[in-house]
Amino acid sequence: MIGAASHSAAPDAASQAARVRDAINQGQMSPLQIRTVLLCALLNVMDGYDIMAMVFTASAISTAWSLSGTQLGLLLSAGMVGMAFGSVLITPLADRLGRKAIVQLSLAVITAGMAYSALTQSFQEMAVARLVTGLGVGGLVPGLSVIVAEFSSDKWRGGAVSFMGVGYTFGAVLGGLAAGELLSSYGWHSVFAVGAMATFALMLAVWLWLPESVDFLLQKQPRNALPKLNRILSAIGAPTLQSMEAPNQQQAQAGGLRSLLTPPLRRLSLQLWCVSFLVLMCAYFVISWTPRLLVLSGLSQSQSIIGGVLLNSGGVIGCLLFGWLATRVRAQSITLVYFGIGLLSLLTLSQFHNQLMLAFALTLLIGICLFGAIAGINTLAPAIYPAANRSSGVGMVTGIGRLGGILSPALTGVMVDAGQPIGALYIYYCVPLAAAAVLMWSLRHAQSQYGSV
């Protein structure tokens, strides 16, 4: 299991940061901390809308521009490609410029991408607009996980991170409902225009109400760090500081992507990257192909849609259940259980995919386990990386995971065209999930930078 970092042996220069961190870890969730979690969850709701806007408008845009299936597929993939690059290129800047600054930058990029999407007149323009939107979302979402983790107490950290993660699914649902009304009344351009305006409004809310990370303020000590830190400490009921001790210079200069592969972090980084890649590879196979495979198994189109709804509903249940369990059990233990049950469910579905009620039940269970496992990764990654590397580390974990999400739908299409049996496909994707479980188990001795995780 991931153990708590020992502060008793820390040098004097780190004692102030340790005391502040302990005040957050062991204290009650103050109104400021709750507001921060809720604001990050709301930002994730908007991200769900922004990314799924292309899905909601795909049919209308395809008809309007007479797109081929390949062109439509590229538009649907452009956002995911942008998200992968945003996670790797934008999120790590938060370790140098601040968590709040990168959240604002990412929201500005999303706003620009959504506004451009609303004004596009061709396939090429829309492809660029979706790539830009994806870059912003990719830079934002990992940063939200870091902020929520840093502002949550030990007891509520897993619950807060998983609650924030559910926001994406709610955003997709709300976006679907809104898109139906907007498409019929104002056309597909309005779906993107509303997204741009709402994202801009949230950018203003972040400027007004989102606090900067205490870990960043203590470690990097930017201009006016002390008054900013004291406002946060006062709001959470912790003693304020008269002055700030000099940070550990070695740690303060250790941020950035290159530091993730230095000896202290190399093994942890490689293991987390592999876990994220393998889990999202499996998850996006299930998300992208299960409705289609259910049709190929002999179910009707309407029945396959029910299967897709059950899968995403399972994702909401899995994240919320993870959050509730994480207040009582270590997050890593819960994640391993999700892996085990998900693996058994995939194996069972490979044999019974053409039996309606059993296939539905297994699809719901798979959604619970895979989305719950992703919530576990999102909780563990910020806990393992030190403050100086946290945004870089989480950004890389998320970005590399999304590469798996990009690869698996295309790889599955090749296997389907090659005539692979449906049951065999589910068995094949048990392999990456089993490998991810082994790697997660091997992380049990990793040290947490917070309390118990």
For the segment 230-275, what is each residue's pLDDT rounded down to a tens digit?
999 999 888 888 888 776 655 555 556 677 888 878 888 899 999 9
CA angle 32, 168, 105 (to 5 degrees): 65
- Distance from C-alpha of 214 to C-alpha of 132, rounded to nearest angstrom: 30
Look-up of token digits 């592969």: 261
The reported pTM is 0.80
pLDDT given for residue 2 in this prediction: 57
| Spatial separation of the C-alpha atoms in residues 202 and 147, rounded to whole Å | 16
Phi first, then psi, for residue 246 (nearest 5°) are: -65, 135
pLDDT lower than 70: segments of the chain: 1-14, 247-257, 301, 305, 445, 447-453
Instruction: Read off the tokens for 120.
Output: 């596009």
- Answer positive or negative: Cα dihedral of 85, 159, 363, 360: negative
Question: What local confidence, expressed as pLDDT, does residue 12 receive?
Answer: 41
Q: Among all chains, which residue has been given the structure tokens 């009707």?
A: 300
Q: Can you name the residues that pair with 4 across neighbouring β-strands?
A: 448
Contact residues for 414 (Cβ-Cβ < 8 A; gap 6+): none
> Which residue matches tokens 């970092």?
5
| Residues ≥6 apart with Cβ < 8 Å to 107 | 43, 136, 140, 199, 200, 202, 203, 206
Q: What is the pLDDT of residues 111-144, one digit of tens each?
A: 999 999 999 999 999 999 999 999 999 999 888 9
The whole-number pLDDT of residue 228 equals: 92
What was the pLDDT predicted at 3? 53
Q: What is the pLDDT of residue 248?
A: 62
